[in-house]
Chain A
Amino acid sequence: MLSGPSEARSRGIGMVFQHFSLFDNLTVAENVALGLDGEESFKDMSARLEQVSKTYGLPLDPKREVWQLSVGERQRIEIVRALMQDPKFLILDEPTAVLTPQEADQLFVVLERLKAEGRAILYISHKLEEVKRLCDTATILRGGRKVETCNPRRETAASLARMMVGGEIQEVKAAGGRKTTVPRLVINDLSLPPAEAHGMRLEHISFELRGGEIFGIAGVAGNGQDELFAALSGERLSKDPGTVVIEGIAAGRLSITQRRRLGAAFVPEERLGHGTAPRMKLSENALLTGHAASGMVRRGFIDTAATLKAVDRATETFDVRKAKRDPEAASLSGGNLQKFIVGREILRAPAVLVVSQPTWGVDAGAAAVIRQALLDLATAGAAVLVTSQDLDELAEIADRIAVMFHGRLSAPLAASEASREKLGLLMGGSSLEPEEVVHAAGA
């Protein structure tokens, strides 16, 4: 048994976490030094860092501060830090979640090379295509139990998914022939300074979203998606009311409650603590967003029956599994809580739905239910804005896709034109050939 992380390191186990353990205000070399317990001098260590990063094709400048680096570069620090201890066994937890497709390809090259050097790699992922492509053996876990160990190359993505979910996954279907109607959400030249020290500045973002349409925003995390969500929801107000127009009304200076009354609904990325108050009951969490416009409050008094009814409706419509009628939000599993939150907002029949990472960390079954609900909502005439890092998800549901990079939004591509390669280039900050953009915008 291991007594702690330092013993794991000394036995040759290296770990690359999904959520990076880096200090934003320190340099690359300082961050690496913090993870090592050797006796070499800082100077020697920095030299070795540069050499290791060059050897493996993971270029890094030891003197740069972490906050200036892209997410892909930050992951390189984690990997190089692990490699500098010459690990025999390397664990990677969802390493591609934050990478562009091109960056992921580069990572796979590095991993193949590490394998060839005789190191063992434990690769934790829910992306089945990656597992099929990279891994020699796969163990499937479900609900904390081992389900199966297999050779992923002999399986199909569908058979792996079945083992993961423990049943067939409902296929997401668009109703076909959705008609776009009036503009419901219009963003005009929205710029916003960052709210915190290393936040992202939003620069000149403009787009128009019509009823019946699902608009996808792709991009690597931390490129301004959170800031855009806050600006759209009204958690942060714009200077100019005209920058955010909901249902034809200038809403840039309106609070989130007023925006909800205009028919907008919002689903943030973070389920616990942002979308819900974790230690409050579901009925209270229904009230959290329902107090604005759903008739749950009369003359300042709460209609408890109405809040419970909202919980029951979300439970029935979206198959939310829970131990009792009205449990605390934190006691639900991630997938069930997400279904509750999405249900809570969709059952208000919004004209505009802004949803961030709708199926992040959610099991495949719940993800299918949620994506179907978003498609149905658009079919019913609402405008749906989906921000996601999952390109497969956007390909499945979005009509048009734009990419966020460094606080700017690319021109939208029609979903049929938005190949992984094109989106990947945009996510990495390159621009497409001009004629392609013009072509896509005209689609």
Chain B
Amino acid sequence: MQLVLERRAERSGTIALVSPLIAIGLTILTMVILFAMLGKNPLLALHAYFIMPLTDGYSLQEIAVKATPLVMIAIGLSLCYLANAWNIGAEGQFVIGAVAGSWIAVKTQGTDAGAWVLPAMLILAAAAGALYALIPAICKLKFGASEILTSLMLVYVADLFLDYLVRGPWRDPQGFNFPTTAEFDPVATVPLLIEGGRLHFGSVIALLVVVAAAILLRHTIKGFEIRVVGAAPRAARFGGFNANQLIILTFAVSGALAGLAGIIEVAGPIGHLQPGISPGYGFTAIIVAFLGRLNPLGILIAGLFLALSFIGGEQAQIAMKIPLDVTKVFQGILLLYVLACDSLVLYRFKLVFANRQVTRGAG
């Protein structure tokens, strides 16, 4: 008897929806084992992770706040991944966007600059993120450099550049030597949606990005181009689509969205520029993109779910002294299962009883 993977004649629509849920189920199962090994009550830990954050208004708002950058970045990354362009450096584009936008905030600090400041910050951040993402894209096209490596390495460049700025030229003179800029002026701050709450206008932008991406991918020829270049490069060339132009475009768009997410985070919930403005949003967004099946609506749901794990991780640390790093373990295991379960979309398991050589579906 043998267990074999057999190729399906056609992509299974049901499994495409169910496979992320299977992955989540397997992840939770693994977490239960992990919690038990840590000597914690698994049920209480799961409750702290996934139920407690949903029970009070403050945590719910906080989930939306955390999901905002994740969703925005993941939407951009999904466009790259659909087109077979592997941008792994959204974290760096996020930081560069935050830095570029903050430049306006820092320079106009204490002046009577008007309402133009915030829009200018958003635009500059998006442009900077896009330009920063174009570096690996152009290196790939001109020199054949792997965009996976170059985009990842540029993350560290961006991080250190931010570090230099807040420790050097942009440091707040009244900041007791902490490496941070002064608090941004009100005109340089993303407005809140609810007075006294946490939810800010950036979440609305994230929703608009989701809708725009959904329309782009389903209803426009550009979206079709992105999908076909990734799915069948030779057929795409036969269709008259230029894969190189698309690498430039998708890198620029994903860099712009990451940059935008960066400045929204800094000018919103944080309120000033400092090192460590991101708990790894740019990397977690990769998981969000795949968990959401590279589909805008799926990414919105996946973004909220991953945000829940961030908040839940904090709750579990406070309530049960479970280390915060368990959240990262959770996210890593989740990505592993998501990718593994994806094979079920194209293949099915089959038990073979005859004792003979079985060739596996080519693939």
Q: How far is the CA of A280 from the CA of B224 in the complex (A)?
A: 10
Q: By CB atoms of chain A within 10 A, which of B228, B234, B240, B355 has the most?
A: B240
Quick one: which of A36-94 are within 8 Å of B by CB?
none
* B297 → chain A closest CB, angstroms: 18
Q: Can you list, as one digit per residue, whether each of A285-325 has a CB less than 8 Å from chain B (1) or not (0)?
A: 10111011000010011101000000000000000000000
Judge if A260 is at the interface, Cβ distance under 8 Å.
yes
B10 adjacent to A235 (CB under 8 Å): no
Number of B residues near A (Cβ < 8 Å) is: 22
B238 adjacent to A287 (CB under 8 Å): no
A327 adjacent to B10 (CB under 8 Å): yes
B220 adjacent to A287 (CB under 8 Å): no
B220 adjacent to A291 (CB under 8 Å): no
* A305 → chain B closest CB, angstroms: 12
Q: By CB atoms of chain B within 10 A, which of A275, A288, A300, A304 has the most?
A: A288
User: For residue B280, which residues in chain A have a CB less than 8 angstroms away from its CB?
Assistant: none
Judge if A255 is at the interface, Cβ distance under 8 Å.
yes
User: B222's contact among A235, A292, A300, by CB below 8 Å, is which?
Assistant: A300
A4 adjacent to B235 (CB under 8 Å): no
B239 adjacent to A302 (CB under 8 Å): no
Q: How far is the CA of A289 from the CA of B240 in the complex (A)?
A: 8
User: For residue A327, which residues in chain B have a CB less than 8 angstroms away from its CB?
Assistant: 10
Number of A residues near B (Cβ < 8 Å) is: 38
Q: How many A-B residue pairs have CB under 8 A?
A: 80
Q: Which of A159-167, A168-176, A266-274 contacts B (4 or more CB under 8 A)?
A: A266-274
Nearest opposing residue in chain B for A256, CB measure: B240
B356 adjacent to A277 (CB under 8 Å): no
Q: How far is the CA of A102 from the CA of B155 in the complex (A)?
A: 63
Q: How far is the CA of A304 from the CA of B215 in the complex (A)?
A: 13
Judge if A379 is at the interface, Cβ distance under 8 Å.
no
* Given A273-B234, A275-B238, A300-B220, A2-B228 contact (CB < 8 Å): no
B238 adjacent to A331 (CB under 8 Å): no
* Given A279-B231, A287-B224, A302-B224, A260-B357 contact (CB < 8 Å): no
Judge if B205 is at the interface, Cβ distance under 8 Å.
no
A3 adjacent to B238 (CB under 8 Å): no
Judge if B47 is at the interface, Cβ distance under 8 Å.
no
B10 adjacent to A328 (CB under 8 Å): yes
B224 adjacent to A256 (CB under 8 Å): no
Judge if A387 is at the interface, Cβ distance under 8 Å.
no
Interface of B is mostly: helix
* B323 → chain A closest CB, angstroms: 42
A292 adjacent to B240 (CB under 8 Å): yes
User: For residue B236, which residues in chain A have a CB less than 8 angstroms away from its CB?
Assistant: 277, 288
Judge if B9 is at the interface, Cβ distance under 8 Å.
yes
* A341 → chain B closest CB, angstroms: 11
User: A260's contact among B9, B240, B355, B356, by CB below 8 Å, is which?
Assistant: B240
Judge if B11 is at the interface, Cβ distance under 8 Å.
yes
Quick one: which of B225-273 are within 8 Å of A by CB?
227-228, 231-232, 234-240
A302 adjacent to B238 (CB under 8 Å): no
Judge if B219 is at the interface, Cβ distance under 8 Å.
yes
Judge if A257 is at the interface, Cβ distance under 8 Å.
yes
B224 adjacent to A274 (CB under 8 Å): no
Nearest opposing residue in chain A for B354, CB measure: A1
User: B221's contact among A273, A300, A330, A331, by CB below 8 Å, is which?
Assistant: A300
* A2 → chain B closest CB, angstroms: 7
User: For residue A233, which residues in chain B have a CB less than 8 angstroms away from its CB?
Assistant: 238
Q: How far is the CA of A214 from the CA of B222 in the complex (A)?
A: 36
User: For residue B355, which residues in chain A have a CB less than 8 angstroms away from its CB?
Assistant: 1
Q: How far is the CA of A291 from the CA of B223 in the complex (A)?
A: 13
Q: How far is the CA of A279 from the CA of B222 in the complex (A)?
A: 18
B220 adjacent to A274 (CB under 8 Å): no
A274 adjacent to B235 (CB under 8 Å): yes
Judge if A276 is at the interface, Cβ distance under 8 Å.
yes
11 A-B pairs with CB atoms under 8 Å apart are: A1-B355, A4-B357, A260-B240, A273-B232, A278-B232, A279-B231, A287-B221, A289-B240, A292-B240, A304-B219, A328-B10
List the 5 shortest-distance A-B pairs measured between CB atoms, nearest first: A257-B240, A277-B232, A288-B239, A277-B235, A256-B240
